[in-house]
Amino acid sequence: MALMTKEQYIESMRKLNIKVYMFGELIENPVDHPIIRPSLNSVAMTYELAHDPEYEDLMTATSNLTGEKVNRFCHLHQSAEDLVKKVKMQRLLGQKTASCFQRCVGMDAFNAVYSTTYEVDKKYGTNYHERFVEYMKLVQKNDWTVDGAMTDPKGDRSLSPSQQEDPDLYVRVVERRPDGIVVRGAKAHQTGSVNSHEHLVMPTIAMRPEDKDYAVCFAVPSDAEGLFMIYGRQSCDTRKLEEDADIDLGNKMFGGHEALVVFDDVFVPNERIFLNGETDFSGMLVERFAGYHRQSYGGCKVGVGDVLIGAAALAADMNGVARASHIKDKLIEMIHLNETLYSCGIACSSEGHPTLAGNYEIDMLLANVCKQNVTRFPYEIVRLAEDIAGGLMVTMPSEKDFKHPEIGPICEKYFRGSSKYPTEHRMRILRLIENMALGTAAVGYRTESLHGAGSPQAQRIMISRQGNLEHKKELARKIARIDEASIAEREAAASKK
């Protein structure tokens, strides 16, 4: 079963006994819950398109481990071309779902853990890489969706994990046994966790020697004993619970979600442990995962942006202002910003290089530049979309008002735009923009663009590290004909005074 179908994926999730809380209640059937199901549909699209001959080249790849065809979301990148195809695949899925399709974090974790474990073994003689290769064969064989879990609650950010008043604010090992470890803690903001077969857990920051118990990487089933989730709220989420809800949902079929994943003394067998106390490699794992995930945003956010730009253009048509020069200029600016993000994603992929383990890694500097732009441009794209849509986007009556026998005709009359378009079509487009800008899809576009894969400052720190400022200074010295030897002499003379 190297490639699951959409239907097989949905049924595989039904077989899991995942423990999810929402609104203070334990959800008996997460798969069919009206709030959760749209996010499951988004993941299902990653399986559906893998069987479409039109998209086979983007959606599938040949495994370097087994030689079999696998879903690209389970693939270890083998070339710069693979990295480029990853970004193109993500743009495609953003266009198809207008939301977060949730498998990127697992794919990015696979590639980061694969290369890091190789280097850990090389230094310490451990067998983490061998274990992870066997785990990846299982992932590929079963076509699992895996949640890449990195972000801890963190508590007081000025304190290291071992200095926290509550030691559980970072995931940690609480017991080491001959056959494995017991872990405790939580991972926050976990994208698609409820729709995942497995969780691949990584440390969230570079660790010091005293943080040994927190330098841990492992994989567990999503229904492992002691693991449970608390579903995150989103704006307008309870609209999905309304009877016969349709137009007011905006994006009815697809969505994303985040959850707090709690590890309440979860046992992890040795074969699923990929880092266990090697603090000097925790930073490498974090930076590599972050780099891959920052590359991802140059694809997925662009695809969702394509839909939002199209919705804004349709809103202009329906408002009767499509020919206005300022509207045209705003749409051009939205396209320009969106394609700039895509250019960054393609650039960091095209400059990819092999790791010591053999899989390919993006250009880290360009990946961080990509994500830094993603923290800004989608906000401007959303602002322009709201500008074009007009205030009716957030003041429009409900769908039930439009369908009411008495006030419905009044709404139909007074909320119509251009006579070329039915009022209902205008409602649908405005609700779609609202959903993407303010509602349940905003978590997968606007807000996630800022905080996903690290906050803006995290990218600026990496840009500072990787920007090679000394090299740029040397370039300027040579062009300006400044003798570096004379500078050294002056510094030496000054130090003697």
Amino acid at 477: R
For residue 28, count CB atoms less than 10 angstroms from its CB and return exposed for 0-12, middle for 13-18, buried for 19 or more: exposed
CB 218 within 8 A of CB 181: yes
Alpha carbons 170 and 164: distance in angstroms, whole number: 9
Residue 441 has φ and ψ, to the nearest 5°, of -80, -15
Alpha carbons 324 and 119: distance in angstroms, whole number: 58
Alpha carbons 99 and 96: distance in angstroms, whole number: 8
CB 301 within 8 A of CB 450: no
Which are the catalytic amino acids? 100, 104, 191, 258, 293, 297, 300, 448
69-71 and 20-22: which strand pairing?
unpaired
Tokens 């992932």 correspond to 139
- 332 strand-pairing partners: none
CA angle 91, 111, 120 (to 5 degrees): 160
Residue 294 has φ and ψ, to the nearest 5°, of -70, -30
Tokens 């985040």 correspond to 258
- 275 strand-pairing partners: 217
CA–CA distance from 479 to each of 73, 439, 470 (Å)? 47, 53, 14
Q: Give, for 258, the enclosing helix (H) or strand (E).
A: strand 258-269
Which pair of structure tokens corresponds to residue 86? 């990853």
For 412, residues 6+ apart whose C-beta sits below 8 A from its C-beta are: 402, 423
Residue 61 has φ and ψ, to the nearest 5°, of -155, 170
CB 255 within 8 A of CB 245: no
CB 454 within 8 A of CB 372: no
What 3-state class would DSSP assign to 156?
A: coil
What 3-state class would DSSP assign to 338?
A: helix
